[in-house]
């Protein structure tokens, strides 16, 4: 995030896996300029595919750091979120703090291979000399901010929550986690800062080379998911549901209850609150598969099935996981009658409603497991491909018992970064984020809960949770 004071505007930068994107947002919160550099297409000399290099082991996935900027680094390749080569380091970190649940309570997540602490531990174990020569370890977000500052930028609380190193309750580095990963790590990371902090003025290089005004300020950069929460302008109690290839739930939480599922981060726009992420692998690909099998590859026919079947599906429940699900860890298709007997098939229209109701019931159950509760003012913001289907959104509104809105969030991380720049410039924590972005376009109401929906789904949700546990027990044995 950077502020430019000529025509008062803020720039939002998105440093993603495949490209760097920028948008300019004016004081009325209109996006009036956008541009991007696509690594595969525009920087051919680095030979990336999808912005990355996949190594011979099939697990290590990196990006060449010189692709981002010609500068001085202690290593030539940087691990990215797709890397899954640090399982040993994850188990070691969890063991150090007393197990996966203890680590989740401390840092917001159990140990994940892509999280920075475990990647640092791998680097230290495999290349201690490079580690010892490293003065500063940055996230992509804080590194990008450093480019604009001309000096090291601190890591913000929100992106710092995705490292397995930050104590999310008191927002300081965990000494136990730091010690488990590598020596002298705290001094290499620097002190974390609130996400709405002004971290300094833009460097003289950008003033002289590109004409930025000397008074232009830089607000702490954050991760893509926290920036998306800002771009979608979620408020306390709200949910954003991204209905894409995978389905992702963004939750605004006041009192989180970390579990072995999902991730809890410090909230990027309110340091007293939190945000949670839950990812479900069997998203649109599963919906499209059932559509192709049962509805002649037609969304119109698919919608007819939802229109012709009743809320609650006469008690029929289904679980549809053609690939191993993350939340919960189940694979396969499982159908249950109103009497909880497993059956081999449903009529085509019942099958389609069972799929959609099941997907949304799972989301509500697992959101509540992280401490989420629907509030009177709760709204759901739906994005992604399936958000264009009103009948699917009607089921979402009915299951959650709250209205569903849609909005254009094609550049939500980038626009959210610009919104956060305005927030930081408006004194950050002293001014509510909602006040800063009140001029932004309002989302459109797409579906309101059907009268009586909450009564129908209250009992079904309990049955769904019970049957999910039954399937888990059958597939992997009783919990230890």
- State yes or no: pLDDT of 4 exceeds 60: no
33, containing H or E segment:
strand 31-38
Cα 256 to Cα 274: distance, rounded to the nearest angstrom: 7
Cα 222 to Cα 139: distance, rounded to the nearest angstrom: 9
Return the number of other C-beta atoms located less than 10 Å from residue 295's C-beta: 19
425, containing H or E segment:
helix 412-425
Same domain, 332 and 389: yes
Structure token digits, residue 32: 């009036």
Please give the share of the chain, as a percent, with pLDDT higher than 90.
80
Q: What is the mean pLDDT of residues 460-466?
A: 97
Same domain, 183 and 263: no
Cβ atoms of 29 and 439 closer than 8 Å: yes
pLDDT single digits (tens) 270-290: 989 999 999 998 999 899 999
Average pLDDT over the chain reads 93
Final residue before a domain boundary, out of 147, 172, 193: 193
Same domain, 114 and 176: yes
Across 19-23, 116-120, 198-202, 218-222, least confident range: 19-23
- State yes or no: pLDDT of 70 exceeds 70: no
Task: Provide the number of structural domains found in the chain.
Answer: 2
Q: Is residue 237 part of a domain?
A: yes
pLDDT single digits (tens) 24-46: 999 999 999 999 999 999 988 88
- State yes or no: pLDDT of 170 exceeds 60: yes
Q: What is the mean pLDDT of residues 431-445?
A: 93
Q: Is the pTM of this model over 0.95?
A: no
pLDDT at position 405: 96
Q: Is residue 9 part of a domain?
A: no
Residue 198 has phi, psi (to 5 degrees) of -80, 115
Q: Is residue 364 part of a domain?
A: yes
pLDDT single digits (tens) 297-337: 999 999 999 999 999 999 999 999 998 898 888 999 999 99
Same domain, 332 and 470: yes
pLDDT at position 479: 52
Q: List the domain range (segments joined by +) for residue 263.
A: 223-407+443-479
Same domain, 165 and 295: no
Residue 145 neighbours by CB under 8 Å, 6+ apart: 1, 153, 199, 218, 220, 221
Cβ atoms of 378 and 239 closer than 8 Å: yes
Cβ atoms of 354 and 321 closer than 8 Å: no
Q: What is the mean pLDDT of residues 113-142?
A: 96
Q: Give the position of tokens 């992106």.
A: 159
Q: Is the peptide bond before 468 cis (omega within 30 degrees of 0)?
A: no
CA–CA distances in Å: residue 436 to residues 11, 274, 421, 433: 15, 19, 10, 5
CA–CA distances in Å: residue 421 to residues 5, 9, 13, 238, 414: 12, 9, 10, 22, 11
b/e for 124-152, b at 16 or more Cβ within 10 A?
Answer: beeeeeebeebeebbbbbbbbbbbbbeee
Cα 390 to Cα 243: distance, rounded to the nearest angstrom: 13
Domain containing 328 — which CATH number?
3.30.420.40
pLDDT at position 29: 93
pLDDT at position 407: 84
- State yes or no: pLDDT of 6 exceeds 70: no
Structure token digits, residue 20: 């760097």
pLDDT at position 209: 94
Which of 139, 444, 116, 437 has its CA nearest to residue 269? 437
More confidently predicted of 326 and 467: 467
Same domain, 371 and 279: yes
Same domain, 236 and 149: no
Q: Is residue 269 part of a domain?
A: yes
Q: Is residue 437 part of a domain?
A: no
Pairing of strands 9-15, 2-4: antiparallel
Binning pLDDT at 50, 70 and 90, where does residue 104 land? very high
Across 243-252, 440-449, 462-471, least confident range: 243-252
pLDDT at position 418: 96
How many Å from the N-terminal Cα to the C-terminal Cα in the chain? Answer: 47
pLDDT at position 478: 56
Same domain, 245 and 161: no
Helix, strand and coil in the chain, % to nearest 5? 40, 20, 40
Binning pLDDT at 50, 70 and 90, where does residue 428 land? low
Same domain, 271 and 362: yes
Pairing of strands 404-406, 444-447: antiparallel
Binning pLDDT at 50, 70 and 90, where does residue 291 land? very high
Which of 185, 215, 423, 452 has its CA nearest to residue 310? 452
Q: What is the mean pLDDT of residues 4-15?
A: 79
Same domain, 354 and 469: yes
Please give the share of the chain, as a percent, with pLDDT higher than 70.
96
> DSSP assignment, residue 411?
T
Cβ atoms of 381 and 239 closer than 8 Å: yes
Across 96-100, 138-142, 411-415, 461-465, least confident range: 411-415
Same domain, 279 and 142: no
Rg (CA), the chain: 23
- State yes or no: pLDDT of 430 exceeds 90: no
């Amino acid at each position: 995030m950077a502020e430019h004071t000529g025509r008062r505007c803020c720039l939002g930068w998105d440093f993603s896996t495949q490209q760097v994107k920028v948008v300019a947002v004016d004081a009325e919160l209109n996006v009036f300029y956008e541009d991007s550099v696509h690594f595969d297409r525009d920087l051919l000399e680095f030979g990336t595919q999808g912005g990355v290099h996949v190594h011979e082991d099939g697990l290590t996935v990196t990006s060449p750091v010189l692709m981002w900027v010609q500068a001085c680094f202690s290593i030539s390749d940087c691990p990215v979120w797709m890397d899954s080569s640090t399982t040993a380091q994850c188990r070691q970190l969890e063991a150090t703090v007393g197990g996966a649940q203890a680590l989740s309570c401390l840092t917001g997540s159990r140990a994940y291979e892509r999280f920075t602490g475990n990647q640092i531990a791998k680097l230290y174990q495999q290349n201690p000399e490079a580690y010892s020569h490293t003065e500063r370890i940055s996230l992509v977000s804080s590194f990008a901010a450093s480019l604009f500052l001309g000096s090291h930028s601190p890591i913000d609380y929100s992106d710092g929550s995705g490292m397995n190193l930050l104590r999310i309750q008191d927002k300081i580095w965990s000494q136990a986690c730091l010690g488990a990963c590598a020596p002298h790590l705290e001094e290499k990371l620097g002190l974390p800062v609130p996400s709405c902090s002004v971290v300094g003025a833009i460097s003289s290089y950008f003033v002289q080379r590109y004409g930025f005004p000397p008074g232009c300020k830089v607000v702490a950069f954050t991760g893509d998911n926290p920036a998306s929460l800002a771009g979608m302008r979620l408020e306390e109690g709200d949910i954003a549901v991204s209905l894409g290839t995978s389905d992702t739930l963004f939750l605004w939480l006041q009192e989180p209850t970390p579990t072995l599922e999902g991730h809890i981060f410090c909230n990027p726009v309110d340091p007293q609150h939190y945000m949670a992420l839950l990812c479900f692998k069997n998203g649109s690909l599963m919906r499209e598969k059932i559509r192709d099998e049962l509805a002649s590859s037609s969304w119109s026919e698919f919608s007819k099935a939802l229109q012709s079947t009743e809320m609650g599906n006469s008690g029929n429940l289904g679980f549809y996981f053609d690939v191993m699900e993350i939340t919960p860890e189940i694979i396969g298709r499982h159908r249950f009658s109103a009497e909880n007997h497993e059956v081999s098939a449903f009529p085509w229209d019942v099958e389609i409603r069972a799929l959609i109701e099941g997907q949304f019931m799972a989301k509500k159950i697992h959101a509540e497991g992280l401490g989420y509760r629907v509030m009177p003012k709760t709204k759901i913001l739906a994005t992604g491909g399936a958000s264009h289907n009103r009948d699917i959104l009607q089921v979402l509104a009915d299951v959650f018992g709250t209205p569903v809105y849609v909005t254009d969030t094609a550049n939500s991380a980038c626009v959210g970064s610009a919104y956060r720049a305005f927030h930081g410039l408006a004194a950050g924590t002293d001014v509510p984020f909602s006040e800063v972005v009140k001029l932004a376009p309002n989302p459109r109401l797409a579906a309101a809960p059907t009268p009586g929906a909450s009564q129908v789904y209250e009992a079904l949700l309990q049955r769904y949770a019970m049957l999910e546990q039954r399937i888990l027990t059958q597939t992997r044995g009783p919990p230890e």
